[in-house]
Structure 1
Amino acid sequence: MRNRYLDLLRAVAIVRVIVYHHFGWPLLSIVFPAMGVMFAVAGSLTAASLAKRSPGSVVVSRMRRLLPPVWLLGLVAVPAMLYAGWQTETDGEHPFSPANLAFWILPLGDPPGSDAGAFVWDALWYVRTYLWLVLLSPLLYPVFRKVGWPMLALPLLLMVVLERGSFGMPAPVESALWDLATYGACWLAGFAHRDGRLGRTHPSVVVAGFLALGGTGLYWLVQGHAETGWDLNEVSEAQAVYSLAFVLLALRWQPPIERLVTNPNVDRFVNLLNARAVTVYLWHGAAIAAVYPILEFIAMEDLGHFEAPITLGITFGVTAVAVMLFGWAEDLAAKRRPRLWPADPTPMPATPQPVGPVPAGWPESSRDDHAASSVTPGLRLSPADTPALRLPGPGTHAQQQFTPGLPAQQPFATGLPAQQPFATGVPAQQPAPGDGHGQHAAGLGSRLSAASGPQPPATAGPRFSAADTARLSAPGLRLSTTDTSPNLRLAPPEAVPPQFYGPRLTSAAELPADPGTEPHPYRHALGDSPEPAASYGEMPIAGRPAHSYDPQPNGHGSVPWSGHDAGHAAGPSSAAARETWQPGPQRAASDPDDAPAFRYDAP
């Protein structure tokens, strides 16, 4: 997801550039140093790309997004300047030279132009500086991540060197180095914003840095204002440190702007300026130059007190026409469908995303990435992917739900077997159709609803050990020790009289001689019997009330003998067949204080 705060900063900076170039008000360079902000935002976005892609692909992508709009401007401006007599200029800043036209193709130097067309090429220093910083970023970003804040002093040290002289460098090279030194620290501040370094810095430290750097910049401006005025753009040293101070504070602060950017008009305007940022910057100079020819053409040169708003309105109007005529080049460069006026509303995410200050500088991730990382094998599903998991069961708890990631309120009956047939170290077994448990099959085990995805196989269920009945742990079914409370109790559908059990059988000789005796589910200790259903019975106990349940040969109530089906399938020689036969979850007799509701082995 895009960082709407960075989009807003860039939109404000573009508007400020247009207003500054239109009126020339010097105080605007102090109120909002737009060029430093634009370089800082570009540095942050470039660092984000370098963190995810190879350096070569990032450089190619940035150049592809930047150069086509510049080429389109050159295709219009160069023939117009040649037609206006560029070739005949002898004392201009950029005398015509066919070789220098190559800078319109790859602007590593200033694209040339005639003096009469200075409004076209004068602002292209930004394109040249931006391109050089993009080319240097694959080298600067890894070093910055290791060195950190001290690296911000590197551009300022370069400025100190340039102050000592040109050292015989050509004027275009010296000019390019001055621009790199002036705004390079802002670009590196964008690195600090992106990797979270700035966001982890205490606000008091950032405020102190702003006061120190900003005060230094203003001091240098005051020292030379007699010659340069109050315009930071005329004092490179003051511009460098003041712009750095401003962007550090602006990127660290990152105020809450949800209510602002969700305004439909603001939202569309911000999206338009960000989708056409290069076009607006390249063509706004031509729009300013067209204002008075337009007023002269319509005979409205004398506007009186309304001159400022009307001329600014014409500038924005002509810039809007340029956006509609030439903005499609940005769409093609970004491999998007060309649009005439891309003032589209921002799509609202399904899950609200933070827009404001928490936390400044952290990289954004899309909801799809979060969903992909939140689903792991088993039954651990994110709430956004499955509204609820249902644990069907008998009685009133058939529709019990729990939210994934929270402790499940698994129903257990006091003194009754668990509603899920888990065995010690053996996967949970679902009763097979036709074995007498069909009427209970729908109520056993965890089920996913039809809208929640496929049902996992029964053999993939969680495994419990004998000591885990109070601290059940399995993907998707989490019970903490604090959940051994009435929340874990489930009243049976109908009253069940107390059950009394005789001593556990330890040998075949102790089995009752009469197989017709009332069957009772003794826990079988003979794991080598291939036919356990015919191997147990009940010894009469004086005073025991009659059973009120319908005994079944393959289980106790609605719970099959744990491991019974596995023993039949695997055979008497397998590990599953040698498991002890026991109803429900067991607890060692040595833990009587942890879960008194569960039955223990008889002494």
Structure 2
Amino acid sequence: MVEIRARWSALAAGIEASTPDERDRTVDALRALAILGVVLGHWLVTALTARDGGLSTTSPLEHMPWLAPVSWMFQTLSVFFLVGGHVAARGYASARERGGSYGAWVGQRLGRLFRPVAAVLLLWGVVAGGMLIGGAEFDTVRSLVKLVLSPLWFLLVFAAITAATPLVARISPLWPLAVVAAVDVWRFGLEGPEWIGWVNVAAGWLIPFTLGAAWSRGAFARRAPALLLLGGGAAATAALILWGGYPASMVGVPGAAVSNLNPPTLAAAAFGLAQCGLALLVREPLARAMRRPMAWASVALMNLSAMTVFLWHQTAMMAVTALGLLVSAELPGLHTVPDSVGWTAARLLWLPVFTAALMVCWAAFRTHEQAGRRPKPSRAPRTVAVGAAARTAVPRPRTGPAQEITRV
């Protein structure tokens, strides 16, 4: 234990020393919190129940609707789009200043997103085919594959908006918000076609993305705009739920007539505004926390593998659920119907097991995400500063996490 602690301290010190002074660590912290919220949210509100020799998907929110506030804590996609808009707008502006082309910039950005996807699709293509050949029920295979692929819609939308950064970075968030409101009025108030709601897939997530772009331009240097977002968004969300007929859950619930997430509704947009306001307000406490080498190292390492964690967390949960069937088909909190507080308590006990399985996936597949971040070793000597003095260092490949974090 002492040796592990010493190694972790050395790694944290290396990451701290390798981080440029000008890096805004709160951006990384918010991204890590957003990914963590998505992972924990899926693990807590998604359940695979064993039935008739197969597995089917359900949710505790379907059986216990009073748990809807849980979705307010863990539906953190708006924060991810906020950070994404901030990083994309700032990165594109920096690329333009250096004389870089749009093609080179967007290729690098999208490569980081999609490089890890190939491994997920390949593995699950093989697994799904093998299960069907082995006699597994089609509904079971479909449920599992749907859980794996469903997060990819978010990645596609995020990639499309990121690619459009030069066009959307300076759009006021009020414009996509107005589109979301108009679509909902047409869809719900005027009994318009259901398909019109899918316009909000782009418009709804453009709202936090454009807020992030405005953040990169200094729009939230003062606290007042963020307070307005938090207060106004929270009040609008409450009004829409209490008097507008919108569901309280901010994630989809099986069997529900309306989902706030698929596609995003005005209630989800208002909730996202409040969430973005809160994220912008906690920047100072986060900045203080990130001055601690241990805390910063945890966030930095999380960001190095953010897409790996996001893409494989459902696989980790399903692997534990499937292996659990070898022991019993009725393990509490794993295979049983999520219809009681007892299930929720049991589910919390499974979270460390899910985490361990996710770490196995991380160890196996993180290289697909990190490969593109490793720079080629330089042949020329380099000068590094140590305190007030400087020395010439022997060149060596920069491949460790302490070096790679500067490229996230």
Say yes or no: TM over 0.5.
yes
**For residues 6-31 of structure 1, what are the alpha-carbon distances to aligned partners after superposition, in whole Å with 9 as ceiling and x for unaligned?**
11111112221121111125323323
Q: Is the 8 A contact 1:221 1:230 kept in 2?
A: no
Asked if 1:129 is matched to 2:157, the reply is yes
Q: Distance in 2 between matches of 1:209 and 1:37?
A: 13
Q: Distance in 2 between matches of 1:209 and 1:73?
A: 37
Q: Distance in 2 between matches of 1:205 and 1:268?
A: 31
Matched residue, 1:30 = 72
Report the RMSD for the aligned CA atoms in angstroms.
3.6
Letter in 2 for 1:319: L
**For residues 116-167 of structure 1, what are the alpha-carbon distances to aligned partners after superposition, in whole Å with 9 as ceiling and x for unaligned?**
41111011111111111012111122x44xxxxxx11121222234332599
Matched residue, 2:300 = 271
Q: Distance in 1 between matches of 2:248 and 2:224?
A: 32
Q: Distance in 2 between matches of 1:165 and 1:216?
A: 19
Q: Distance in 1 between matches of 2:116 and 2:160?
A: 17
Letter in 1 for 2:73: V
Matched residue, 2:325 = 296
Q: Distance in 2 between matches of 1:274 and 1:197?
A: 25
| Structure 1 unmatched ranges of 5 or more | 93-112, 145-150, 338-348, 352-383, 387-603
Instruction: Provide the secondary structure at the position in 1 that maps to 2:68.
Output: coil
Asked if 1:282 is matched to 2:324, the reply is no
Q: Distance in 2 between matches of 1:10 and 1:204?
A: 23
Alignment of 1:30-109 (within 5 A): 30-31=72-73, 33-53=75-95, 54-85=101-132
Shift of 1:281: 0.6
Letter in 2 for 1:68: R
Letter in 2 for 1:46: A
Matched residue, 1:189 = 211
Q: Distance in 2 between matches of 1:311 and 1:80?
A: 24
Alignment of 1:426-465 (within 5 A): none
Q: Distance in 1 between matches of 2:312 and 2:74?
A: 21
Matched residue, 2:62 = none
**For residues 275-316 of structure 1, what are the alpha-carbon distances to aligned partners after superposition, in whole Å with 9 as ceiling and x for unaligned?**
111011111111122222233334592587862333111111
Matched residue, 1:332 = 371
Asked if 1:310 is matched to 2:310, the reply is no
Shift of 1:250: 2.1
Q: Is the 8 A contact 2:41 2:74 kept in 1?
A: no
* Structure that is richer in helix per residue: 2
Q: Distance in 1 between matches of 2:147 and 2:206?
A: 25
Letter in 2 for 1:295: G
| Structure 2 unmatched ranges of 5 or more | 1-19, 46-66, 96-100, 253-258, 334-341, 377-384, 391-408
Q: Distance in 2 between matches of 1:138 and 1:195?
A: 14
Asked if 1:152 is matched to 2:173, the reply is yes
Shift of 1:45: 0.5
Instruction: Provide the secondary structure at the position in 1 that maps to 2:151.
Output: helix
Q: Is the 8 A contact 2:229 2:276 kept in 1?
A: no
Asked if 1:9 is matched to 2:30, the reply is yes
Cα distance change on mapping 1:26 and 1:3 into 2, 3 Å? farther
Which of 1 and 2 has higher RCO (CA within 8 Å, sep 6+)?
Answer: 2
Cα distance change on mapping 1:139 and 1:311 into 2, 3 Å? same
Kindly tell me the number of residue pairs found equivalent between the two proteins. 311
Cα distance change on mapping 1:332 and 1:296 into 2, 3 Å? same
Letter in 2 for 1:301: L
Cα distance change on mapping 1:264 and 1:197 into 2, 3 Å? closer
Q: Distance in 2 between matches of 1:26 and 1:255?
A: 29
Matched residue, 2:242 = 222
Q: Distance in 1 between matches of 2:386 and 2:193?
A: 56
Matched residue, 2:167 = 139
Cα distance change on mapping 1:28 and 1:350 into 2, 3 Å? farther
Instruction: Provide the secondary structure at the position in 2 that maps to 1:26.
Output: helix
Cα distance change on mapping 1:52 and 1:220 into 2, 3 Å? same
Q: Normalising to structure 1: TM-score of the pair?
A: 0.46
Q: Is the 8 A contact 1:33 1:246 kept in 2?
A: no
The one of 274, 287, 299 aligned to 1:245: 274
Q: Percent identity?
A: 22
Q: Is the 8 A contact 1:13 1:35 kept in 2?
A: yes
Q: Normalising to structure 2: TM-score of the pair?
A: 0.67
Cα distance change on mapping 1:319 and 1:224 into 2, 3 Å? farther
Shift of 1:218: 2.1
**For residues 392-433 of structure 1, what are the alpha-carbon distances to aligned partners after superposition, in whole Å with 9 as ceiling and x for unaligned?**
xxxxxxxxxxxxxxxxxxxxxxxxxxxxxxxxxxxxxxxxxx
